[in-house]
A and B are shown apart, each in its own frame.
Chain A
Amino acid sequence: MNPAINNSETQTKESQGLISPADAIELLKEGNERFVKDKSLNRNLHAQITDTATGQYPFAAVISCIDSRIPTEIIFDQGIGDIFNARIAGNFVNEDILGSLEFACQLAGSKLIVVMGHTSCGAVKGACDHAQLGNLTQMLDKIMPAVDSTPTKEGEDRNSSNLDFVNRVSKKNVQLTIANIKSNSPVLNALVERNQIGIIGAMYDVKTGMVEFFNGSA
């Protein structure tokens, strides 16, 4: 990584320009390691508010779940102005999340999209159990392709009583979401093909606070 890249300082147009998609992954990995080791940076958040009052130059955009156990900026040890964050129960994409990501990458210069699922996800459990309630019913339908395409051994439960199944579905859901981003957003797909951005999957473990990045970014 370019030694000029410093994650403890507020991102500027110049610093954002120095960061490659691979660097962006590295910065988030390092940030989560700091969080796990209880060695988070001591940023001056009030100076960062002043620094960003007239503009933002975030290096990454994370799509994650609404789950209260995963405050994205905290678990990646990022400050003010570092990362965009779209959040929806079950971390899938719809037109509005895609629009948000297009804004983040095409218009605001982010270098990386991270699709992050997590263990023990309530939305994924709901989808596994075919839960039905108001607007939730159609929302959970969007997670069904991941449920349906996750294999089980003979006699293995395919509902939320089987936490291992739930977590495998979450991982599958991340992979399918990445595929959906590429097929439903020509804008983002073009950025990927020109290597201007990367897209990578990840899973957060609610027991340990650790983020595991999937092998290979798109």
Chain B
Amino acid sequence: MVVKSINIDTQTKATQAEISPNLAVDLLKEGNERFVKNEVFQRDLHQQVKDTATGQYPFASILSCIDSRIPTEVIFDQGIGDIFNARVAGNFINEDILGSLEFACMLAGSKTIVVMGHTSCGAVKGACDKAELGNLTQMLGKIQPAVDSTTTEPGEARDSSNIDFVNRVAVKNVHHNINLLRKMSPVLKQMENAGQISVVGAMYDVNSGVVEFLD
């Protein structure tokens, strides 16, 4: 199968060029399926260290949370040199994350950006509860727009005691940050418009290990 061989071997300039923005997303979907089914590839990581010693040609960039339950390369069954990964608590964007993603796509040729939130996110819970502590206060402020724009039924709790609310805010936060990314990075917006990259949202379920890609 073509898809398998392209993702089991170390990425090269040539393989990276063959991968379309849609295929990049499919490779990640298949990788997560392998992880969930416990059928991960047996890659020779030491060979991959050698292969990539003088350069990297990753096909995707993931923005995800610092959460210890979500080792990105592991849950997508990716090896060394396959994906860039930016991580901040609450997986939102700021100027430095945008700079990182511009580097990943514009300068290093990766074909998709996945903004991935997750269930039971501590940062989202903190934002729902309006927690305040040091640098965390302003950080949680960046998740607040997602909290404010998530609707609740009459009488439904809008804090971390309501895990369903927390998870809806996390989804909203992914959509919100994809919009912000397009607005704040003309570089990435232009690449998306030109069909050079795709930008997609996703949610990781800490109960099952399954990544659900959002529409």
Contacts and interface: CB of A to CB of B under 8 A. Distances in A.
Question: Does B bind A?
Answer: yes
Interface in B107-150: 107-108, 120, 122-123, 126, 133-140, 142
Interface in A128-144: 133-140, 142
Contact of A68 (B53, B81, B184): B81
Which of A69, A97, A133 has the most chain B CB within a 10 Å cutoff? A69
Contact of B86 (A87, A137, A140): A87
Contacts, number: 219
A41 interface: no
Interface string A139-153: 110100000000000
A37 B58 CA distance: 25
B100 A66 contact: yes
A187 interface: yes
Interface in B75-100: 78-89, 92, 94-100
Interface of A: 11, 35, 38, 45-46, 49, 52-54, 56, 58, 61, 66-74, 78-89, 92, 94-100, 102-104, 106-108, 120, 122-123, 126, 133-140, 142, 184-188, 206-209
B73 to A, nearest CB: 4
Given A68-B82, A206-B49, A56 B67 contact: yes
A59 B87 CA distance: 18
Interface residues of B, number: 70
Contacts of B11: 68
Given A85-B66, A209-B49, A98 B134 contact: yes
Contacts of A56: 67-69
A51 to B, nearest CB: 10
A78 B71 CA distance: 9
A186 B83 CA distance: 34
Given A88-B96, A139-B95, A67 B56 contact: yes
A122 B108 contact: yes
Contact of B53 (A82, A185, A207): A207
A74 B82 contact: no
